[in-house]
A and B are shown apart, each in its own frame.
Chain A
């Protein structure tokens, strides 16, 4: 057992060393594939977080008809505050509405000044609990409160739903693109590894002729593939870290409106571990394909 593992280790290291440039190419191909996958994953994770932020801050503005008396408005407010979905509810009178809007969007002040005070309707500003912030739950809640004396209820539904569809499209595309990248990477790794195998063909052919099993011949290549996968994953992780620090963090300023006070995050440790595992699998699959192709052809 010990001699077999030392054989595997010795041959892998020797092959890595003797075919340094070809192995460098294999690691490069894996790194490129993982960089693409990792960058995609990073975008997806941040989009997901962005959506999570919006979900947490689901805010509904319900505008009263102008003829609804103030005591009725307070009574509606009290009724709604008792609902389990509601975390916070704020009454904004016609008089306060202007200041409230200016506070949120300062640029509208000159326009409001022109129209004069009390041009905006009174409203209830409702914040939902985080447990009730899926589009379906929001829609159900809005349907429930439609029966009160509101002229209009605004909760940015269409935009959130469109964005959710967009993220879901990206997720589906990601699976397809991921599969394509993985297939292309295995193909490229296998073809490059085929050159490594070809460089050692006389040795492998002789080994087969003197009684080596496929497992004996292929295991050093599997280890080699795993090592190259790890090297590729390390390069990809460093590349993504550089990309994150140099590019994405600079974009934060421009994305402030969308992400609020959140900052763009790097891949979580689980995703990095997954990238390393995928890299190792890619390397091993590529190497195995190349050795198997050679093994079938050899006498």
Chain B
């Protein structure tokens, strides 16, 4: 589902990723871990096309993501779900609208969007909150809205950047359980985190990065 061949990414003189080779199978659940600045976020950004590799080949869902034109990029992103580190919720749109955004860009009818958004909010434990605004929600609830938006389009791949970084223990567990449930439905999940406690509680394959190098997988 995800393949990287000799991926390099440099910012000026600094290597953000150095000769990374990896393969993630369809339906896998993998952690991308390592200290701050190790290249976790760069890797995830590269997978959803926000960053292009300096060299190397990158296949996402069979598509060579390193060679996509700006016009092709949206069609890759429609097959992905991304939980951003800073949530990227739109403050002046309701929770329902935020979740429905990933469907709206597909041109889905509004009624279907509302129905799907309600169902997904129900899945992440936010039943009846579709008319609330993000700033009225707690950090944990906002995180779950971000997860709901990432999974509402049934993506083949779910990328989550520090999805539990802002949450307390119980809330972090809840979010992890949601991600695991999504994985059980067949979605390939890649979670960037440095929360070892959580990785030990929910053991899965770990891709460990240090200074841009993949040191263990």
Binding site for B on A (CB under 8 A): 2-4, 6-7, 18, 202-203, 205-214, 216, 299
Contacts and interface: CB of A to CB of B under 8 A. Distances in A.
Given A3-B110, A6-B110, A203-B93, A212 B105 contact: yes
Contacts of A4: 107
Interface string B78-102: 1010101000111111000000011
B104 interface: yes
A3 B107 contact: yes
Contacts of B50: 209, 299
Nearest to B97: A203
Contacts of A7: 104, 107
B91 A209 contact: no
Contact of A202 (B48, B77, B91): B91
Contact of B84 (A2, A209, A211): A209
Interface residues of B, number: 30
B12 to A, nearest CB: 18
Interface string B46-81: 001011000000000000000000110011111010
B74 A213 contact: yes
A207 B104 CA distance: 9
Given A202-B88, A203-B90, A209-B88, A299 B107 contact: no
Contacts of B90: 202-203, 206
A211 B73 CA distance: 7
Contact of A216 (B77, B88, B91, B105): B105
28 contacts: A3-B107, A3-B109, A3-B110, A4-B107, A7-B107, A18-B92, A203-B90, A203-B92, A203-B93, A206-B88, A206-B89, A206-B90, A206-B101, A207-B101, A209-B82, A209-B88, A210-B82, A210-B101, A210-B105, A210-B149, A211-B74, A211-B77, A211-B78, A211-B102, A211-B105, A213-B105, A214-B70, A299-B45
If over half of A's interface residues share one DSSP class (helix, strand or loop), that class is named, otherwise mixed; here it is: helix
B45 A210 contact: no
A203 B94 CA distance: 12
A214 B107 CA distance: 14
Contacts of B89: 206
Nearest to A203: B90
B106 interface: yes
Which interface residue of B75, B78, B101 has the most chain A CB atoms within 10 A?
Answer: B101
Q: Chain B at the A interface: mostly helix, strand, loop or mixed?
A: loop
B132 interface: no
Pairs of residues from A and B, 8 with the lowest C-beta to C-beta distance, nearest first: A211-B78, A211-B77, A299-B50, A212-B105, A210-B102, A3-B109, A203-B90, A211-B74
A209 to B, nearest CB: 7
Nearest to B104: A7
A24 B45 CA distance: 38
A214 B71 CA distance: 8
Nearest to A299: B50
A14 to B, nearest CB: 10
Contacts of B104: 7
Contacts of A205: 88
A6 B107 CA distance: 10
B108 interface: yes
Given A202-B90, A202-B91, A203-B90, A209 B48 contact: yes
A213 B74 CA distance: 6
Given A3-B110, A207-B101, A216-B107, 14 more contacts: A3-B108, A4-B107, A7-B107, A202-B90, A203-B90, A203-B93, A208-B74, A209-B88, A211-B78, A211-B80, A211-B102, A211-B105, A214-B70, A216-B105
Contacts of B93: 203
Interface string B144-183: 0000010000000000000000000000000000000000
Q: Which of A2, A206, A207 has the most CB of B within 10 A?
A: A206
A211 B82 CA distance: 11
B88 A211 contact: no
A238 B74 CA distance: 44
Nearest to B109: A3
Contacts of A207: 101, 105
B89 to A, nearest CB: 8
A17 to B, nearest CB: 12
A208 B82 CA distance: 12
A211 B106 contact: yes
B186 to A, nearest CB: 20
A18 B110 CA distance: 21
A209 B101 CA distance: 10
